[in-house]
Amino acid sequence: MSLAKSYCVSLLGLAGTLIEIEAEISSNLPSFVLVGLPDASLSEAKDRVRAAAHNSGLPLPGRRVTVNLSPASVPKRGSAFDLAIAIGIMAANGRVRPESVSEWIHIGELGLDGAVRGVPGVLPSVLAAKRAGWLKAIVPIANLAEACLVDGVEVLGAETLAQVAHFHGAENPASDLQAFNGSEVSAEPVSQVNLDLADVIGQDEAVEALTLAAAGGHHMLMVGPPGAGKTMLAERLPSILPDLSVEAAIETTALHSISGSKVHEVSGALLTRPPYEAPHHTASMVSLVGGGLGMPKPGLISLANHGVLFLDEAPEFQRPVLEAMRQPLESGEVLINRSAGIARFPARFQLLMAANPCPCGNFAGKGRACVCAPAARLAYLGKLSGPLLDRIDIRLRLQPANSAQIALARLGATQLGRTSAEIRARVEAARKSSSRRLAGTPWTINAQVPGAYLRRQLKAKAGVTAALDNAVDRGLISMRGYDRCLRLAWTSADLDGRSQLVAEDIAKAVLLRGGDGVTSW
C-alpha cells in the first residue's frame, strides 16, 4: 500500500476542524513534500518527522513522500500534526496497519529522538474530534489527563513514536501506550493560596458589596486611598464564588489549554474553581483581549472566563485597553478577526476594578492630605469612561480601617459570619434562588438580566421603589441606572431569601450603585 490516511485536529479559537492527512509514497527520488496550507512551524514538521522516524528505528522510505493536509483551505499551524504525519507515512509504507491508524485521532509534537511531546489545546481538540464523531484519540502523555476530561472518548497517552507504531502493528520493540489511571493528577485541585475574607479588618460595607457582587455576578469598582484594603478584598472574591459547573469548567479549562497557561500546565486537570487573573496595568491590548501573530490566542479576559478579572490601579491602564473590554463585557465572548480566520473565545468574566481617588491617592474622606489640583482629580477617574462605568453595577468608596475596628477585630467581635466559607454558602443559596426565579429565561444570574424584563417582573407594592424614583426625579440616576439598581436590588433580595423586593433592597442598591458619573460621588 502506498497511500494511507491519518487524522488530526486544527484549532481556530475553541472550534476545531478535523484534518485528514493523506500520505503517499511514490517511486521517485527521495524527497518530502508537504502541501495543504501549512504555516512555517508546520513545514518544519518534515525535518522533525524524518529524524524522529529514523531514531525510532523506523526510517522513512527512500522514496518521494507526499503529505497532503485536507481540507486545504483551512489554515494549519503548529507542531501538533507531527505524530499524525509520521504515523500516516508509516501506514503508507506498510510498516503499520493502515486500517488501525485511520481509526484514531493522533495529536502530538515529535522530538528528533522520537519522543512525543505535549502541545497546547489538546482538550478542545479532543472535544472537536468527539463532535465530529471520533471516539478514539492518541495524545502525548503530558496531555493525557486533560484529554481524559472528555466523556466518552477512548484516550491513550504516548511517550514515543515507537510506542504508537508498535500499537498499530509495527514489529518493533516498544512498550504499550498508557491509558489514564488518574494517578498523575492529585484529586485535590491546585487552589490558590488560602485567602479568607476573615483576614480583612472592618470594611463591613465592602464585604457586603463583595457578597452582592459574587451572588449576582455584578461588576464592581472600588475607589479608596492606598492601604484601604482594595487589593486584599479583590483577591478574596474567588474564595466566595461557587464552584464552576461542569460545562463552565470544561470551557474554561479548554481556554487555559489553548493558551498553555501555567495554572493548567501544573495541574493538567479540570479547573473546578473560578479562575482569578490580575494583570499589571502595563498590560497590552492583545494580552488582555486575545490575539497575537497568526493563530489567535485567548487573552486574560478569556482565561478569567467564569471567574474574576481584577484590574488594580484601573485608571493607569491604557485607555484603548480598557475600552476594548466593553464589547466582551456585554456579549460574554470576544471575536478576534485575523487573516487566518475568526476566532471566538468565551469571555464571561466578572470585572473587578480598583482605583485611587486621585493621583496622589489621599483624596479620601475629607481629603485634607490631598495635594492634587481639582482638575487633576477629575481627569484621573475620568480615564474610566462613561460607557465602561455604565457596565459596572457596584461602585464602592472605601475608607481605611480605623483604630476602633482594629481593636474590635482583635477581640474577634465583628468577624462573626465573615469567613469565606460562610459567605460562599450564602452566595450559593442566593444563586440557587435567582436561577429558580429566572427559570425559563436564558439568564441564570442577575447581572445578565436586561432592565425591561426586570421592570415587567416588578410587582412590588407602591412605595418600595420610592428611593429609586426619588433619585430619578432629582436627576441623580438615569433610566439605565434605574435598571442597574433594580438588578442589584434583586440580588440583595436573593441573598436574604426573599421572593419580592423590599425598600431596604432598593436603598442598598441605590447606595452601592451611586450616581451615573464618577464625579457625582
**Count of residues binding another protein (CB under 8 A)?**
8
Q: Residues 388, 306, 271, 337: what is their CA dihedral angle, to the nearest 10 degrees? A: -60
Beta-sheet pairing, 350-355 with 308-311: parallel
Tell me the closest approach of the beta carbon of residue 29 to another protein, in angstroms.
5
Tell me the closest approach of the beta carbon of residue 114 to another protein, in angstroms.
17
51 vs 503, which CB is nearer to another protein?
A: 51
* 112 touches another protein by CB under 8 A: no
Cα separation, 36 vs 8, whole angstroms: 13
Tell me the closest approach of the beta carbon of residue 58 to another protein, in angstroms.
14
Report the run of H or E that residue 34 belongs to, with start and end: strand 31-35
* 245 touches another protein by CB under 8 A: no
* 63 touches another protein by CB under 8 A: yes
Stretch that binds another protein, among 27-35, 219-227, 384-392, 408-416 (CB under 8 A): 27-35
* 29 touches another protein by CB under 8 A: yes
SS3 173: coil
Judge whether 41 and 107 are in contact, CB under 8 Å: no
First CA to last CA distance, the chain: 78
Tell me the closest approach of the beta carbon of residue 28 to another protein, in angstroms.
6
54 vs 418, which CB is nearer to another protein?
A: 54
Cα separation, 467 vs 297, whole angstroms: 46
Q: Which three cell numbers stand for residue 348?
A: 464571561
58 vs 355, which CB is nearer to another protein?
A: 58
Stretch that binds another protein, among 60-68, 275-283, 311-319, 402-410 (CB under 8 A): 60-68
Tell me the closest approach of the beta carbon of residue 8 to another protein, in angstroms.
27
112 vs 246, which CB is nearer to another protein?
A: 112
Closest CA to 81 of 123, 120, 110, 124: 110
Amino acid present at 462:
A
Tell me which DSSP letter residue 188 carries.
Answer: S
* 462 touches another protein by CB under 8 A: no
Cα separation, 52 vs 110, whole angstroms: 7
Tell me the closest approach of the beta carbon of residue 93 to another protein, in angstroms.
13
26 vs 414, which CB is nearer to another protein?
A: 26
Q: What is the CA angle 371-376-380, rounded to 5?
A: 110
Cα separation, 204 vs 202, whole angstroms: 6
* 27 touches another protein by CB under 8 A: yes
Which residues 140-199 are close enough to bind another protein by CB under 8 A? none
61 vs 75, which CB is nearer to another protein?
A: 61
26 vs 457, which CB is nearer to another protein?
A: 26
Judge whether 159 and 141 are in contact, CB under 8 Å: yes
* 28 touches another protein by CB under 8 A: yes
* 2 touches another protein by CB under 8 A: no
Tell me the closest approach of the beta carbon of residue 3 to another protein, in angstroms.
18
Judge whether 405 and 418 are in contact, CB under 8 Å: no
29 vs 193, which CB is nearer to another protein?
A: 29
Is 178 buried (19+), middle (13-18) or exposed (0-12) by CB count in 10 A?
A: middle
* 73 touches another protein by CB under 8 A: no
32 vs 453, which CB is nearer to another protein?
A: 32
* 47 touches another protein by CB under 8 A: no
Among 41, 58, 62, 271, binds another protein (CB under 8 A): 62
Is the bond preceding 315 in cis, omega lying within 30 degrees of 0? no
Residues 6+ apart with CB under 8 A from 325: 288, 289, 301, 351, 388
Beta-sheet pairing, 109-110 with 31-35: unpaired
Cα separation, 69 vs 94, whole angstroms: 20
30 vs 227, which CB is nearer to another protein?
A: 30
Among 1, 30, 245, 413, binds another protein (CB under 8 A): 30
Tell me the closest approach of the beta carbon of residue 257 to another protein, in angstroms.
38
Judge whether 242 and 215 are in contact, CB under 8 Å: no
Per CB under 8 A, residues contacting another protein are: 27-30, 59, 61-63
